[in-house]
Structure 1
Amino acid sequence: MNTKNAVIREKRKKVSQLIQRWLFSNEQFLNIITIPCASTDIFIYSILEYMNKGKSILYISNEDEEYVDILEKIKKNSSFRGYSYLRRGDIKLKSKFIIVKAANALEIMRDFDLVIFDDTRAFPHHTSYEIIDIMARMSKDEGKFIYCGVESIFKGKREIIIPVSEWPHPIVEPRTITTKINLEEDIPYIIYDYLKWSLYEDRKVVIYIPDLEKGLKVASYIRFYCKKLNKSVLCSWEEGKEKSFLKFAKVKSAVLITYTFENIPTYFANANLMVFFADYKLYDYKKLFHFCGVINSYESNFKEVIYVSNEETEDMDKAKELARSFNKEAWDMGFLSY
């Protein structure tokens, strides 16, 4: 395991050096293809060096302000503190390095030498066309663009593939449970059995649902039909997101029902994920695949992502194929072993 960790660290170091060289090349577009929730350590020294040359950088990420991975990495690895985080209305920021959510990016009244769009650290909401449009509108005429996501958006341009994060683990390949039961009214027995087994084994399960209305129905019937589970069922809307997440993190075993997709906490150690209504229109393949990255962002021996739906969709199939392709790439590159 230590050998594989060393191999990954060396690979990430080489990628960091590649990005640094690319910044001072004549190329304008770069795709970083990696798994959801991957570490941003590969950008640290490129960002610092580029600013030292007097360049301005806009870093777009939909993470919560309380924890932006690139800022945590920069604070940990350097003394640089000259960054700014844009909140709505702060349109006159003069910092060389500005971090902003995509929804607020266009409020900044200036152009940048480098625009980085990190589409892996938070739940993906934007299409490729929307991302390219935002980046183009925030760049100088000769500016550079880096997109970090699960697939390329700059077609025919340079790609760097990083199929693992910081640990030599394959990304979780999701499985599907289909049922004819109306998931707004009842729970398939196999799900009840799975939840009961998880609690017996001192494990945690996060059930994701598309919205509050469906969440209320799911919570109601789980508590009604599965009375043995009642004391172990938490709902994110009942005590507030932060309080319920912290409570869930502290207990040995529990079931958390939530419709909060933004910045899913990565401290859900020992938790498996179930995505209810996985065939719902909200879930495209990038969103479904993002769940696999969530539980891949911490170390645990047994992890599962289960899509629960009435039918299997093309997006579910595509999410599975993405997981398989990243794992194949990781095996071929020597990051994984039996």
Structure 2
Amino acid sequence: MKTEKIKQLMNWYDTSMDKAINMKTVPYMGIEPVKDLVKKILYDGGRVLYITGEDKEKVLIVRVMREAGFESISVHQEMEINEMDALVICDYFQALRVRGEYDLVIYDDVNSFPIHKKPEMQQLIGFIFPKCRKVIAYSFETVFMGMEVIEVPMAGRSGFISEPRILETRLNLDEFVPTSVYEYLLWFVIEKKKVLFLTSNKKVKKKVARFLSKIDESLESSIYDVDEIGTMKMKELCMDGTKAHIFITDDLDDYLEVESNLEIIIHGSDSARYSYRELIFFCLRSGYYDELNGEVIMLCQSVTRDMEKTRDLARHFNKVLWDEGFE
């Protein structure tokens, strides 16, 4: 993390007349860009509201602040929210119940799989706006129009983001898997890769699994239905490097607890269930655990605006990384 970005954020908080700022970065960035400002405010006796979709047992800012010696921290519990502490952690819905006032509000849109759309974010921040001195939209896209944007490249690594490959077909995707995808799968099997194969619904998931098994019996032993084995078994299987594993699911999640980079195939990526917000997270998820990025393949009958925007976002983040001097 470049120190000038932190200084820029500090300067905004201390001197800018603008109440809001965009801190734009990649999904799964962590809290490096904002942690020093949070520490400063807490050291000075101020109060911070941190809105995040992270699991309450794994909120990154909590661990870092406790390691720094801060104990006045309230982490969301169910629908109740304790606003007596200096650092208050809550999710989207709990934030709608906030009544206290804060020196800083941070909406963290990068460290958990996106559930809420951009207009929902803007609506919530509008509700919170009168209750705070300053507010940061910590997101992979610009939230506050006409406000300053601090662009932060990927931290601690030189690897670039997987730009999605878009494969168009005229085939009925409810019934078939195109040859091009089948060839990718064969290559993944040969290379003993871990594959996340996303489908639009359970009916399609079962048809795809049957189709793959019928056209090539060698694939059958590598195919697993996530609904049947569960994520704990999925995590265990990914530790086996002796063979490929193809996990088919219709659950829209990032499977971050599965500690392996994944080759990701999104079957029917032109479905209305996929917005650019979920799709860009998959691009980052494919290379989450090390610098050897997986492929992200978006299979569709027609290219949607969300797919195009996902590709543009990935290219933009790679350009930012390139401009920062990484090779």
User: TM exceeds 0.5?
Assistant: yes
Determine the C-alpha separation between the residues in 2 that align with 1:183 and 1:220: 13
SS of 2:56's equivalent in the other structure is coil
Question: Residue 309 of structure 1: which of 300, 305, 320 is its match?
Answer: 300
Partner of 2:50: 59
Partner of 1:6: none
Aligned length: 324
Partner of 2:173: 183
Determine the C-alpha separation between the residues in 2 that align with 1:296 and 1:131: 27
| 2:235 maps to 1:246 | yes
Question: Residue 296 of structure 1: which of 287, 301, 306 is its match?
Answer: 287
| 2:31 maps to 1:40 | yes
Change (3 A) 1:267 1:23: farther
Partner of 1:4: none
Displacement of 1:198 = 0.8
Structure 2, unaligned runs of 5 or more: none
- Cα contact 1:122–1:262 (8 A) shared by 2: no
- Cα contact 2:286–2:293 (8 A) shared by 1: no
* Percent identity (aligned): 27
Displacement of 1:16 = 2.6
Partner of 1:158: 148
Displacement of 1:288 = 1.5
TM-score calculated relative to the size of structure 2: 0.90
Question: Residue 82 of structure 1: which of 72, 95, 107 is its match?
Answer: 72
| 2:256 maps to 1:265 | yes
Partner of 1:205: 195
Q: Which amino acid aligns with 1:247?
A: E
1:86-119: CA deviation from partner (whole Å, max 9, x where unpaired) = 1322134422212222133213443433211111
- Cα contact 2:254–2:282 (8 A) shared by 1: no
| 2:222 maps to 1:222 | no
- Cα contact 2:81–2:90 (8 A) shared by 1: no
Displacement of 1:292 = 0.9
Determine the C-alpha separation between the residues in 1 that align with 2:257 and 2:286: 7
Determine the C-alpha separation between the residues in 2 that align with 1:217 and 1:29: 49
Change (3 A) 1:212 1:136: same
Determine the C-alpha separation between the residues in 2 that align with 1:73 and 1:296: 24
Determine the C-alpha separation between the residues in 2 that align with 1:262 and 1:82: 32
Partner of 1:128: 118
- Cα contact 2:269–2:298 (8 A) shared by 1: yes
SS of 1:79's equivalent in the other structure is coil
| 2:21 maps to 1:30 | yes
Displacement of 1:224 = 4.0
Range that drifts further, 102-111 or 197-206: 102-111
- Cα contact 2:104–2:132 (8 A) shared by 1: no
Displacement of 1:326 = 1.7
- Cα contact 2:24–2:141 (8 A) shared by 1: yes
- Cα contact 2:23–2:137 (8 A) shared by 1: yes
SS of 1:115's equivalent in the other structure is strand
Determine the C-alpha separation between the residues in 1 that align with 2:62 and 2:226: 27
Partner of 1:143: 133
- Cα contact 2:266–2:299 (8 A) shared by 1: yes
> 1:93-108 to 2 correspondence within 5 Å?
93-108=83-98
- Cα contact 2:161–2:293 (8 A) shared by 1: no
Displacement of 1:308 = 0.9
Range that drifts further, 319-328 or 251-260: 251-260
Determine the C-alpha separation between the residues in 2 that align with 1:72 and 1:212: 38
Displacement of 1:140 = 4.0
Determine the C-alpha separation between the residues in 2 that align with 1:143 and 1:23: 9
| 2:317 maps to 1:330 | no
Displacement of 1:139 = 4.2
Change (3 A) 1:248 1:69: farther
Determine the C-alpha separation between the residues in 1 that align with 2:104 and 2:151: 20
TM-score calculated relative to the size of structure 1: 0.87
Determine the C-alpha separation between the residues in 2 that align with 1:231 and 1:73: 43
